[in-house]
């Protein structure tokens, strides 16, 4: 073949391959750069989907003054934290939108698929991101939380938002701790002092030496009844301010009355001793 014909063909083939490489790179780039924490997706679990649908049905009842959004830490308010939930939130017409194991991407999907349809509370409290700790960077987790806050602002423009710092977990410091701390550092900047308020109460659960006490978090992840009480009591002034109502008085744990010792001829009867469980400092 004549050399003058080979050169144009070779140039054409090189140009075609180069263009194809650019296209492949552009197609792969979004996949490589995708932040899973900020892309809505459901869990592939029938139990999870059933719980999601149950929350949708509950949301349709309407009339909620306060909603709590999160994972099992929030959901457990209806179990371990039931006494505190009833004391601080029952008469504020609350809706608990917590599902165990959820990450930011799952909450995003739930918000897009019915959990807040027709819901217009005065206040939304958000606590989410802990379960992203083993899957995402602090920056990625923060982007997921930011997407949730933006979704709430778009869907419920008149609702105020109390964003809580992500709880740390594990008995002693781990490599995950700085990741969650970095996420909290970033999301704290979402606060505008009016529509979005940020509170980080990790100092209640993490001691100066970095350990988490079992009396407040028995599994070093989920608050105990005392932990829920401490949590609710600490944020109550802010909750009341955002709702425009009166702060609740601290919850008084019901006294456990111990039987009095039986009197003997040599020992006069003593009054019953009343033991009141105290919160850990």
Q: Whole-angstrom distance between the N-terminal and C-terminal Cα of the chain?
A: 89
Instruction: Decide: 200 and 252 in contact? Cβ < 8 Å.
Output: no
Question: Which residues are CB-contacts of 207 (< 8 A; sequence separation ≥ 6)?
Answer: 213
- Catalytic annotation, pick one of 52, 87, 106, 222: 222
Question: Rounded to the nearest 5°, which phi and psi values hold at 21?
Answer: -65, -40
Please say if 14 is a catalytic residue. Answer: no
Q: Three-state DSSP class for 10?
A: helix
| Integer Cα distance of 244 and 79 in angstroms | 27
Report the C-alpha dihedral over residues 217, 222, 226, 232, rounded to 10 degrees: 130
Please say if 219 is a catalytic residue. Answer: yes
Beta bridge partners, 274, equal 257
Instruction: Decide: 143 and 151 in contact? Cβ < 8 Å.
Output: no
- Catalytic annotation, pick one of 91, 192, 219, 245: 219
- Catalytic annotation, pick one of 72, 86, 93, 112: 72
Q: What is the DSSP string of 189-221?
A: GG--SSSEEEE--GGGTS-TTS---TTT-TTSS
Please say if 222 is a catalytic residue. Answer: yes
| Integer Cα distance of 263 and 38 in angstroms | 68
Neighbours of 205 (CB within 10 A): 20
List the catalytic residues: 72, 219, 222
């Amino acid at each position: 073949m004549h050399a003058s014909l080979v050169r144009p063909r070779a140039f054409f083939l090189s140009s075609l391959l180069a263009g194809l490489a650019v296209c492949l790179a552009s197609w792969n780039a979004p996949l490589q750069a995708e932040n899973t924490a900020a892309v809505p997706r459901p869990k592939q679990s029938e139990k999870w989907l059933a719980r999601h649908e149950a929350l949708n049905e509950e949301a349709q009842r309407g009339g909620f003054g306060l909603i709590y959004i999160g994972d099992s830490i929030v959901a457990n308010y209806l179990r371990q934290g039931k006494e505190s939930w009833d004391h601080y939130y029952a008469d504020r017409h609350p809706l608990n939108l917590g599902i165990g194991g959820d990450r930011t991407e799952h909450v995003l999907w739930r918000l897009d698929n019915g959990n807040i349809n027709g819901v217009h509370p005065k206040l939304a409290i958000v606590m989410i991101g802990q379960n992203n700790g083993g899957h995402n960077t602090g920056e990625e987790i923060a982007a997921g939380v930011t997407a949730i806050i933006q979704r709430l602002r778009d869907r419920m423009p008149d609702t105020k938002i109390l964003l809580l710092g992500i709880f740390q977990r594990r008995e002693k410091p781990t490599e995950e701790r700085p990741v969650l701390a970095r996420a909290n550092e970033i999301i704290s900047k979402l606060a505008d002092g009016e529509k979005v308020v940020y509170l980080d109460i990790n100092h209640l659960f993490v001691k100066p030496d970095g350990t988490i006490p079992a009396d407040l978090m028995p599994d070093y992840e989920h608050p105990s009844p005392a932990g829920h009480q401490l949590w609710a009591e600490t944020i109550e002034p802010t909750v009341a301010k955002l709702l425009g109502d009166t702060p609740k008085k601290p919850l008084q744990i019901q006294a456990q009355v111990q039987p009095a010792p039986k009197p003997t001829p040599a020992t006069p009867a003593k009054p019953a001793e009343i033991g009141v469980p105290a919160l850990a400092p």
